[in-house]
Chains A and B, each alone.
Chain A
């Protein structure tokens, strides 16, 4: 069984200290994630790859109380009984806000403004047994997500 990222060029891989790969506009300095062919601020086309900040603040969040329809492919969550997971927006200081899965948290522990850090988590297992890994954010002080690294077991992700 091999682990691989959900998409190429989204975060640095492999490695224990991942960074998200964004784009920065050479004309206006605005950031985007993921990198695009045009800058959403000025329309410029000279976007350069930049590693984004690995910590940020929770700008908002919600729970995911049902399994989304296709194209959702995740198998990381408990289905019997179904257990909601969390998604949110992380503000990376001076760069941008980005949407992410959240791990190592509950409805009661999430607070808007709390510090968050980037982790990788197992997201799905393919029919061929490959493990798909994605990025997520976890409360910066959380120990629950400390063990989440490429290849970690699924228990850790839903803890």
Chain B
């Protein structure tokens, strides 16, 4: 029995917006989500806001209206939106509130993310050596995965090309120019086997969703989409994770946090991977999309070459993945990225995705986030 519904979503375009603050983008995304739900800010009984760069996302109330509403700020790395949704869902399921807004916003400098290693439990020398770098982790992870499961560089290029193509059909995407697999393979090698065009880049943007108790959802929309589960997990001992000077021996074969979060989300939702008709996965790079497909249980390890070559993950395939272009075409404003995924799932499941609408309107969608230092979130939605 669904307990939580999504009744409106809104997005501020992702990209570069000189002179515009993250809070201003957040306010626009919030208004857009409220309008989609046919509601106003004053109707919100609570709000949850997520951001990496903005200390207090709740400062957005200065533009939305000083209503005195409970507004909780969360930050959980690349899984921030998952934690924000989880909190909102818990508040509704506990009966504390019936309706609220979840908002994410960010505005990052260009280039790979950096931070102080000691704030991630890493020693200073790890950063001085140039090892405190997410991109090299993703290169190492997919290189090993290719060795173990025969994934090819052509598959990586095809995944990135698909996401650029999907982005070209999305007016809110950052990168809207289709790129061929050859152009992607020939771009600068950043961290073998990953080239420049196989990576997403940090950028700017905002996204928002209005959530309410499933019991009252039809008061607001005849197309509610239900948030059936949202689970977040951290890494277990033995997993190979980002920002880790050392890890346990490989024979322990411990699943990644995404696999743990996905298994927990499916169990809570009472829905299986075979039911999923569309997925938005954390494609920090093309290899991450390939790996996360399997970690979410959506395919077997090694099956990705065949799936991608057959177009199964394309817009008209049997399991469309990253239909709005994913992180590769949208970039990653950390606080907003996961809510963009949810926005896209809702658009597709409501049949409102325009040029990039998948042919069979999916009944079940999955959104997955992964980031440093080994956190993951998986959400499962259904009509």
Contacts and interface: CB of A to CB of B under 8 A. Distances in A.
Nearest to B196: A65
A95 interface: yes
A111 to B, nearest CB: 9
Interface in A63-98: 63-74, 84, 87-89, 91, 94-98
Contact of A32 (B140, B240, B246): B246
Given A30-B237, A71-B127, A112-B147, A99 B245 contact: yes
Interface in B221-259: 237, 240, 244-250
A63 B130 CA distance: 12
Contacts of B360: none
A101 interface: yes
Nearest to A34: B123
A72 B249 contact: no
Given A62-B191, A72-B129, A89-B240, A41 B248 contact: yes
A99 B244 contact: yes
B128 A41 contact: no
Nearest to A112: B147
Interface residues of B, number: 39
Given A63-B139, A112-B143, A96 B246 contact: yes
A29 B130 CA distance: 30
A22 interface: yes
B192 interface: yes
A71 B124 contact: yes
Interface in A1-35: 6-7, 10, 22, 30-34
A62 B136 contact: yes
Nearest to A97: B247
Given A66-B190, A91-B249, A101-B130, 18 more contacts: A10-B125, A33-B246, A60-B140, A62-B140, A62-B191, A65-B191, A71-B117, A71-B124, A87-B136, A88-B140, A89-B144, A89-B240, A97-B247, A97-B250, A98-B245, A98-B246, A98-B247, A123-B129
15 contacts: A6-B128, A41-B237, A41-B248, A60-B144, A62-B193, A66-B190, A87-B130, A88-B140, A89-B240, A91-B249, A97-B247, A97-B250, A99-B126, A112-B147, A134-B129
* A-B interface, 6 closest residue pairs, ranked by CB to CB distance from nearest: A62-B139, A71-B127, A60-B144, A33-B246, A63-B192, A72-B130
